[in-house]
């Protein structure tokens, strides 16, 4: 099963998970200051979908209140009737 980090015109797509008690608005501003571009915020789970470089993601990992920053992986499992997925 091939796995790769999802890339777009702005770099790699990253999943930024915020601690449940962290102030989301100040974290949003810090993410933007790190150079990452916010694509989406999933409020119920306190997750930002962002894009940028590895160096920008590393800066985001050091933000107080950020629990994790991981590359958004794309999985290719093939068609349903493929002999090997």
Query: pTM of this prediction?
Result: 0.79
The reported pLDDT for the residue numbered 1 is 41
The top-level CATH class assigned to 3-75 is alpha beta
Distance CA(41)–CA(38), nearest Å, equals: 8
Name the residue ranges covered by the structural domains of the chain: 3-75
| Tens-binned pLDDT, residue by residue, of the chain (85 aa) | 444 455 555 689 999 999 989 999 999 999 999 999 999 999 999 999 999 999 999 999 999 999 999 999 877 777 888 777 5
């Amino acid at each position: 099963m091939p796995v790769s980090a999802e890339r777009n015109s702005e770099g790699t797509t990253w999943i930024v998970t915020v601690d449940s008690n962290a102030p989301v608005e100040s974290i949003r501003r810090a993410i933007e200051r790190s150079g990452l571009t916010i694509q989406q915020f999933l409020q119920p789970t306190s997750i930002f979908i962002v894009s940028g470089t590895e160096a920008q993601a590393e800066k985001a990992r050091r933000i107080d209140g950020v629990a994790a920053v991981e590359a958004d992986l794309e999985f290719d499992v093939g068609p349903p009737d493929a002999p090997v997925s």
